C-alpha cells in the first residue's frame, strides 16, 4: 500500500490523473442514474415508489432537516457551508435530489452570497 501511495503521489505518475478523471466520471454517472430514478418515479406517478425505492428527493430531505430542527435560516447556512466546502459536490448533491437546474442555480447563488 505504501508503494502504491508513493506512485500516486509522484508528479511523474499519470496514474493519479487517470484515477481522478475516472472518479469524476463515476460521480457524473451516479448523478445521472439518480436523475433517471426521479424521472421514472415522476412519470409513473406512484408515491408508494418513493417508499420502496432508496431515493432521497428534495421533499424528503427538507422534511429530514425540519425534523432535525432546522428552519429556513439554518438551511441557508447549511447550503452556504456546503457550497464553500465543495461547490461541485454541493451541485451534485442537489442534482441527486432531483432538483431542477434553475432552482439549483438559485440555491447556489444564494449560498455564495452568504
Whether the CA torsion 25, 30, 31, 32 is positive or negative: it is positive
pLDDT confidence bin for 13, thresholds 50/70/90:
low
pLDDT at 39: 83
- The string of pLDDT tens digits covering residues 59-77 is 889 999 999 999 999 999 9
- Taking 80 as the threshold, does the pLDDT of residue 45 lie above it? yes
Q: What is the pLDDT of residue 60?
A: 84
Specify the pLDDT at position 92. 86
Angle formed by the axes of helices 15-44 and 2-9, nearest 10°? 90
Q: What are phi and psi of 106, to 5 degrees?
A: -65, -45
> What is the chain's Cα-based Rg?
18
List pLDDT tens digits, range 21-31: 888 788 788 87
Identify the residue whose cell numbers are 454541493.
90
Amino acid at each position: 500500500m505504501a508503494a502504491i501511495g508513493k506512485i500516486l503521489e509522484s508528479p511523474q505518475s499519470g496514474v493519479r490523473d487517470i484515477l481522478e478523471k475516472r472518479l469524476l466520471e463515476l460521480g457524473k454517472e451516479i448523478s445521472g442514474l439518480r436523475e433517471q430514478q426521479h424521472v421514472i418515479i415522476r412519470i409513473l406517478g406512484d408515491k408508494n415508489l418513493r417508499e420502496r425505492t432508496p431515493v432521497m428527493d428534495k421533499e424528503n430531505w427538507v422534511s429530514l432537516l425540519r425534523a432535525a430542527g432546522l428552519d429556513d435560516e439554518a438551511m441557508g447556512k447549511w447550503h452556504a457551508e456546503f457550497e464553500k466546502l465543495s461547490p461541485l459536490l454541493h451541485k451534485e448533491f442537489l442534482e441527486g435530489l432531483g432538483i431542477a437546474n434553475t432552482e439549483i442555480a438559485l440555491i447556489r447563488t444564494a449560498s455564495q452570497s452568504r
